[in-house]
Every structure is written in C-alpha cells, then in structure tokens.
Amino acid sequence: MHSSDDKGRFRNIRKKKRLKKRKGKKYYSLKNHSIEHVIGFLGNPNVGKSSLFNELTGSHQHIGNWPGKTVEKKEGHFILADEYFSVIDLPGTYSLSGRSDEEIITEKFIVQERPDLVCVIADAMRLERTLYLALQAFELTDKVAIIVNMIDVAEKHNLEISRKKLASLLGVPVILVSALRDSSLIELKKFIYDAIHTDKYDFHPAKILYSSKIEAIIRKISEQIADRKVLKEYPVRWIAIKLLEGDNWTRSELSKEFDLETLLKTLEEIKEKESINPKVEIAKTKYSGLHTI
C-alpha cells in the first residue's frame, strides 16, 4: 500500500514520462516546463464544454478512445507561466448516478487519475439543471471549480448571476465566462492557474445532507465498510450512497470482500419500515439544495 507521499512521487514520475513523450512529438519541451497539471472538464451535453476546451487548447489536441471503451477521449493542453496544463475533455453526461460508459469513465478518471482540478461547466441559462452534476462531483473530490458558461446569453436576457453568492453557496471557486469572448478565455486560464496555485480560493464543496433516516443508513453502511480493501480510492460516503441508490456495480465490487446479503437485507427492512425510497430521496435532496441558487 502506498502512502499519499509515495503516490505524489509516483505521480510526478508518471508526469515526467508523459512529458518526455510529448517532447518526442516536438510540440512540447520538458526543459522549459517541468510542471504538469491535470484538469478535467466535466459537464452536461450542450453547455459549451467542447467550445471552451477547443478555445483553451487550440491545436494542441489529441483524440483517442478511453481504454476499453468506444467513447472518444479528447486531451489537449495550454501553457501558462511556463507550466503545462493538460486538459481532459470528459464525456458529456447529465449525472454520475447511473452506470453508462460516460459515467464510469468520469468517476474512474476523478478517483484514479486524481486531477489537480475538476472544472464543472454549467450553462448560465440552465444553472440548476447543469449544477446537479457538480453536487455529484463534490461527493468524489473537493478539487472542483465551477465555470458558468454562456454568460453572454444570460446578459442578453438580463439574467444576473452573482459569482460571489454562487461561490459561497457551493463552497468552491466560480467564474462566469463566455466561450465566444477572448477576454473570458484569458481570465479562465488565469482562474485555473490560481485555483491550483494560490490560496486565493477555498475548496469546501457544499456536501449535501440527506434526511436523518438516510444519513443514519449512510453512517451504518460506512462503518461496516470503512476498512475495505476493494474500492479503496472511492470515498466511503460515496460508496454508501451508491449502495443506497441500488447501484449494481458497487454491489458486485463490494461483494468480492463482504457478505452483502445481511447488509442489503437490513437495508430492505429499513426501507420498508420507514417507507422511504433512498434513490428518489437522494436525487430530490440534491435538487432541492439547488433550488436555493
């Protein structure tokens, strides 16, 4: 088992190897930029994620497939202040609660690659709907920033969005941009740089508290699987929530180590006794949290 220090060291070695490869391709010189940061772009379809990705990375793009999947993987980079920012355009997805290829790829990327920053792209005109994904990302990592795109459209409709209020409600850095504006793209690069480097921003993502009944079950499951060997990279709370949502993949992974039968039986009993449907309640609570925005 590696300590977090070891992980950091291995990661730097991995980064250097990647950079050397890029050097071989002649569009990047390791000599000049010895630091690499990994940024994930996450968002619903049609929020302007690809537009921002394209504008930010220009011609420095590589398109392939995610390992073992037919889903396209777009990777690009930009350089700022002599540092290399590798941007991964994650597949567009509406949520992280299902088991589509897009959702699995995104979850794995966040917990296994441990990007320096996950940028959730939201649509200024459909904030509530597009920020739902941010609340799900918060359950996987603290390193999330929100990019509210299409601000030009919001301005045309006289829709005012308070960046400060949004940042304080969500507990993470927020920027308002338009993929159509050059000024936004310059600001966005600096925002990403600052989010990684300075203590200018706080990362205390708003964690959704579910009803006391749901929270009690989450606690119970969490205690039972706290010392797990499987799904080690995934936060224990996230696993408990997945189990409550009835996620089969999490169940089958956990059942490699635990006798889930007893746990699931207890769950069913609680659900019946309390007349609750955890999956529906979890989704409802997340949406009701967003109503305040």
Interface positions with ligand BGO (CB under 6 A):
43, 45-51, 92, 149-150, 152-153, 178-180
In this complex, which beta carbon is closest to ligand BGO, that of residue 48 or of residue 76? 48
Q: Minimum Å distance from CB 208 to ligand BGO? A: 24
Measured between alpha carbons, how far is 261 from 246 in angstroms, rounded to an integer? 13
Token reading at 219: 């606690």
In this complex, which beta carbon is closest to ligand BGO, that of residue 48 or of residue 173? 48
Q: Minimum Å distance from CB 177 to ligand BGO? A: 7
Burial class (CB in 10 A: 0-12, 13-18, 19+), 91: buried
In this complex, which beta carbon is closest to ligand BGO, that of residue 71 or of residue 206? 71
In this complex, which beta carbon is closest to ligand BGO, that of residue 48 or of residue 289? 48
Distance set, CA 110 to CA 90, 140, 144 (Å): 10, 7, 10
In this complex, which beta carbon is closest to ligand BGO, that of residue 150 or of residue 239? 150
> Which residues, at least 6 apart from 242, have a Cβ–Cβ distance to it below 8 Å?
97, 250
Dihedral over Cα of 56, 98, 63, 194: its sign: positive
Q: Minimum Å distance from CB 42 to ligand BGO? A: 10
Q: Minimum Å distance from CB 290 to ligand BGO? A: 19
Task: Give all strands of the β-sheet with 36-43 in edge-to-edge order.
Answer: 61-65, 72-80, 83-89, 36-43, 117-123, 144-149, 174-176
3-state secondary structure of 238: helix
In this complex, which beta carbon is closest to ligand BGO, that of residue 180 or of residue 230? 180
> Which residues, at least 6 apart from 286, have a Cβ–Cβ distance to it below 8 Å?
132, 135, 136, 208
In this complex, which beta carbon is closest to ligand BGO, that of residue 76 or of residue 278? 76
C-beta nearest to ligand BGO: residue: 48
Q: Minimum Å distance from CB 137 to ligand BGO? A: 16
Q: Minimum Å distance from CB 265 to ligand BGO? A: 43
Q: Minimum Å distance from CB 47 to ligand BGO? A: 4
CA nearest to 110, candidates 74, 85, 136? 136
What DSSP designation does 109 have? I
> Which residues, at least 6 apart from 84, have a Cβ–Cβ distance to it below 8 Å?
19, 28, 33, 35, 36, 37, 77
